[in-house]
Amino acid sequence: MTERRFSLDQRIVAALQVDGRCSWSRIAQALGEPERNVTRHGIALLESGRVAVTAVANSGGTAIVRLQCSPGTVRLAASALAQRSDCIFVYILTGTADCVAEIHVSRDRLPKLVMDELPATMGVVRSWTDPVLRYFRTVREWEAGVLTPAEKDAIGGVSPPATFLTDLERGTRDPVDRTIIRELMQNGRVGTTALARTAGVSEATARRRVQALLTEGAISLRVVVDPALFGLRAEAMLFIKTQRNRIEPLVRRMLEMPYVRYAAGTAGEYQVVANIAAPDESVLYDYITTAPWVADAAALETNMVVQAVKRSGRTM
């Protein structure tokens, strides 16, 4: 089998997935490329809008929301979800549910979301809300197999914590942290000098605060990119039923392939929800029919992603 070769743009994006705030010079050194080329390509990618680095605030609980809409209203409903500040992603789908979203929601706010907010969304005729019980992989941990282990080690970055702090455990953020989080959500690569100036602190303090926020999991840096940039053009959501004692073996086998961008265990009709990106439909078909994990699935619903309206907190 011929080894796949990746372009410089693909390698730069993969480097940003490891550490979204990594300097161009460090990325160039890790990739063994001239710094001038890496800087030029990296800036062009960001300025084109094809790639963005953003911070996502991890505020405790989340839920997977699926909506069924009346004819002709799917875009309106998806847009309404995307405009929510607590919404992480929104995809328009084929299948029974017209769109799916992930929303930050605390246990206290869940009744209002389910009984009031979702039914009031324009065009919605039915909704399903499944709280996330555990993350097996988020987009933050996903990579397309572009970089070697040595290249990833050279870039470094902050590994996400095994569990995120709840709002109560984290306590109330002071104005400096809130300012830094807000700025990073707008631009995850904003410079330390600009952050310090906006927050009214020294550069050393700003740098230390950013590191603390990342280390404790208050925020995570994510690269907003269409998987098609890596040649993964067949994107789908998988909704999987399995026996409770088979969830862990099933997910372990699923994650052996780099096609799984996101996988979560949920409460509700489906035990596992996953976002998959494959090179084409034939590869996707093989993955959902012949891959080893399929033996542990009692039922599977595959919905193709027609349009990504929002990714990692950023409207597309």
Quickly count: other Cβ atoms within 10 Å of residue 149's Cβ. Answer: 7
Q: What is the pLDDT of residues 138-182, one digit of tens each?
A: 998 898 889 999 999 999 866 655 444 444 344 567 899 999 999
Determine the Cα–Cα distance for residues 8 and 31; give it in Å rounded to an integer: 9
pLDDT band at 217 (very low <50, low <70, confident <90, very high): confident
Mean per-residue pLDDT for 177-194?
A: 93
Question: Is 233 found in the same domain as 122?
Answer: yes
Structure tokens at 218: 């208050």
Residue 302 has pLDDT above 80, yes or no: yes
If one counts the domains in the chain, the total is 2
Other Cβ atoms within 10 Å of 43 Cβ, number: 11
Contact in structure between 156 and 30 (CB atoms under 8 Å): no
CATH of the domain at 264: 3.30.70.3460
Residue 4, pLDDT score: 63
Examine the domain organization and report whether 296 and 230 are in the same domain: yes
Whether residues 112 and 238 fall in one domain: yes
| C-alpha closest to that of 312 among 261, 271, 243 | 261
Distance CA 93, CA 227 (A): 16
The amino acid at 130: D
pTM of the full predicted structure?
0.89
| Domain of residue 24, residue span | 7-49
Instruction: Assign residue 41 the CATH number of its domain.
Output: 1.10.10.10
Buried b (16+ CB within 10 A) or exposed e, 283-303: ebeebbeeeebeebbeeeebb
- Residue 315: inside a domain: no
Helix/strand/coil for 315: strand
- Tokens found for residue 22: 């990594």
Q: Does position 2 have pLDDT exceeding 60, yes or no?
A: no
Q: 126 and 234: one domain? A: yes
State how far the Cα of 52 lies from the Cα of 45, in Å rounded to an integer: 8
Strand partners, 93: 305
